[in-house]
Structure 1
Amino acid sequence: METNLLFYEIQKGTVTTRDYVNWSYGLLINGISSPSLKILSSCSFDDNLFEIESYFKRSLKELAIKEPTFEACAKARIVFLAKKIVKADDHKEISNLADMIFRVVAIELDNSDDLFPWIEISELIDRLDYDVRCITLNKRDVISKIKNEARLLHSLDH
C-alpha cells in the first residue's frame, strides 16, 4: 500500500492491520527498511491494531516520513480507485468506483479544478440511472468516458 493512501485510510478511520502490514511489505520490496518496519512486516493481519500502530509510528520516525496533507492523501485514494477502474470490466463496478471518486472530489476536496471531469461523469451516471427519457446517452459511451479519465489519472501517477 502506498504511504499517502495508507494515511487516507488512517484519517478516515478505516485503516486495518492488513493495510499497515501491506504498507510495510511495499516499502521493504522497494528497498526501504528500518528495524520497526521489519517487525511490522512480520506481524499477522489478526494482530492487535494498537500494537501494529505502535510499530507503524516507530517506522515513520525511523524512516523520517512525515504525515502528508489530506489533499495528497485524497488524491492518492482517487488514483487508487482510477487504477481499479482501468482494470475493471463490469459496468456496475465501474460506475460505483466512479461514484467513489466523485465523492472524494466533491466532498473531501471541494471540487478541485483538475478533477472536474469526475463531477461531469457523476452527472452522466445519474442521467443514465434516473432519467428514463434520456435517449442521447448510452451506457457504453459513459463507461468509455470513465475509463478514459481513469487512464489519465493512472498515467499521472507513473
Structure 2
Amino acid sequence: MSYTEEVGESLRRIRVERGLSLQDVERTSGGAWKAAVVGSYERGDRNISATRLLELAEFYEVSPADVLPGEPAIRRDNASSGVVIDLQKIELLGDGWGPVRRYLESIQVQRGDFNRQMLSIRGEDLRALSVIHGASPDDLIIELRSAGAVIER
C-alpha cells in the first residue's frame, strides 16, 4: 500500500468514526469539501496537499498527526533531533520538488530562520513533507540522500 493510500485509509477511518458519509461531509462543510474530492483522497487516487490535510484534520477536529500513518522514519532511525536539509541542493532539484521547496520556505518564515544553506527538519515536518511529495518518510529520506540534499551529522 502506498503512503498516499495509507493517508486515505486514515482519512476514511476518521470520517467513519464520526458517523459521516461523504455526502454528510459535503453538506456539513457547506460545500467546502466535495464528496468526490474527499472520496478520491480516501481511495488514494489523489495526493492531498499539506494545507488541505491540515484543513481536513481541522474539519474532523483531529490532530494532523492522527491522519498520518505509522511512525516517522526519523524516529525509527533514532535521529530524534531530525535531519538537516541542504537548501542549495533542493534548489537544484527538478520541478517535481517545487511543493517541497515551498514548504521548506514556509518553515523558514515560521521560524524566522533565513539561513540559505541548510535547514533542520523535525519529525513532524518530515512527515508533512512526505505527504506533499507523495512518498513515505523513509522513501523521502532515501530520495533526498541520493540527491545529496541531506547533511549528515
**Higher RCO, Cα 8 Å, sep 6+:** 2
Larger Rg belongs to? 1
**Structure with more of its chain in helix, by fraction:** 1
TM-score by length of 1: 0.28
TM-score of the two chains, using structure 2 as the length reference: 0.29
Which of the two has greater strand per residue?
A: 2
